[in-house]
Amino acid sequence: MEIIPLLNKIHKGWQTEYKFHPHRRWRFDYANPELKIAVEQEGGVWISGRHNRGKGFLGDMEKYNAAIVMGWRVLRYPPDKMMLAVEDIKKIYEK
């Protein structure tokens, strides 16, 4: 199931492939620019995918650290746990 409609029920403005950095090509899988909350789907967890190998892992650290410096909150999930993002966003937004 697509999570954007569910996230938009909590708070409008969610986008896919949101380019958050002014100079880099980095994008968030899902983001709400108004709330500055991003949701990343991390693939290849059990198969040593790009995100788990040296260069990809270091690149992700650079991306996530830059996002935090810019004031973003970044939530990360494997593909089979993406519905947890909806529950976590509800918790954040209810505060």
pLDDT given for residue 29 in this prediction: 96
Which of 15, 16, 31 lies closest to 64, judged by CA? 31
Contacts of 5 by beta carbon, 8 Å cutoff, 6+ apart: none
Q: How many CA atoms lie within 13 A of 3 on its CB side?
A: 25
Pairing of strands 15-19, 73-77: unpaired
Per the CB < 8 A criterion, the answer to whether 15 and 32 are in contact is yes
Contacts of 11 by beta carbon, 8 Å cutoff, 6+ apart: 32, 34, 35, 89, 93
Q: Give the Cα separation of 18 and 29 in Å (integer).
A: 7
42 or 30, higher pLDDT:
30
68 or 44, higher pLDDT:
68
Give this prediction's pTM. Answer: 0.85
